[in-house]
Amino acid sequence: MDSKRLLSGLILVAFLLGNAGISFAGDIKPNKKRGQVYFRMVCTVCHMQQAEKTIPPSSRTMKQWRAYFKADKHDVSGTTRSAVSYYMSRDYRVAIKDSNKAAKKFLKLSDEQINADVREFVIKGAKDSDTPASCN
């Protein structure tokens, strides 16, 4: 096969894959609504059970939320217990799926996707955003 035909074939395959909705790792598109559902049904529920308080998106600025996700440290009562990303991981969702409908519903999503979704929700709901969000 000559190089022009091979190149044309590769371009066609790439076009078809792109139009089929197949995404690659770098193509994660955050879904704010899904992030809101996960945050409220997983994060908020756990915080109410463990710390007896909620941590609404409006409790921090956008810059503070970005730094929180970048640091990847989940701080409870002044001591670092685990990585923030763990609470959005498939392992965590599997561990709580029997008692949490949202965790079960989102089992098939990648850790990166859930993380991007929650991050999008809290940043867009930060106290200095156009639409600050509560935990309700």
Is the pLDDT confidence value at 4 over 70? no
Q: Which pLDDT does position 81 carry in this prediction?
A: 62
Of the candidates 110, 135, 116, 129, the one whose C-alpha atom is nearest the C-alpha of residue 42 is 135
Specify whether the CB–CB gap between 42 and 103 falls below 8 A. Answer: yes
CB-neighbour burial class of residue 111 (10 A; exposed 0-12, middle 13-18, buried 19+):
middle
Specify the pLDDT at position 24. 47
Packed helices 111-124 and 62-71: angle between N→C axes, nearest 10 degrees: 160
Number of neighbours of residue 34 by Cβ within 10 angstroms: 20
- DSSP states of the chain as a string? --HHHHHHHHHHHHHHHHHTT---GGG----HHHHHHHIIIIIHHHHHHHTSS---GGGS-HHHHHHHHHHT-EEETTEEEE-GGGGGSHHHHHHHTTT-HHHHHTTTS-HHHHHHHHHHHHHHTSTTSSS-----
The residues spanned by each domain of the chain are: 43-136
pLDDT, tens digit (0-9, with 9 covering 90-100), for 15-56: 444 443 344 446 889 999 999 999 999 999 988 888 888 889
Q: How far is CA 38 from the centre of its chain?
A: 8
pTM of the predicted model as reported, rounded to 2 decimal places: 0.76
**Residue 50: per-residue pLDDT:** 83
Range of weakest confidence among 2-11, 40-49, 81-90: 2-11
Among 39, 23, 47, 45, CA closest to 106: 39
pLDDT in tens, 93-120: 999 999 999 999 999 999 999 999 999 9
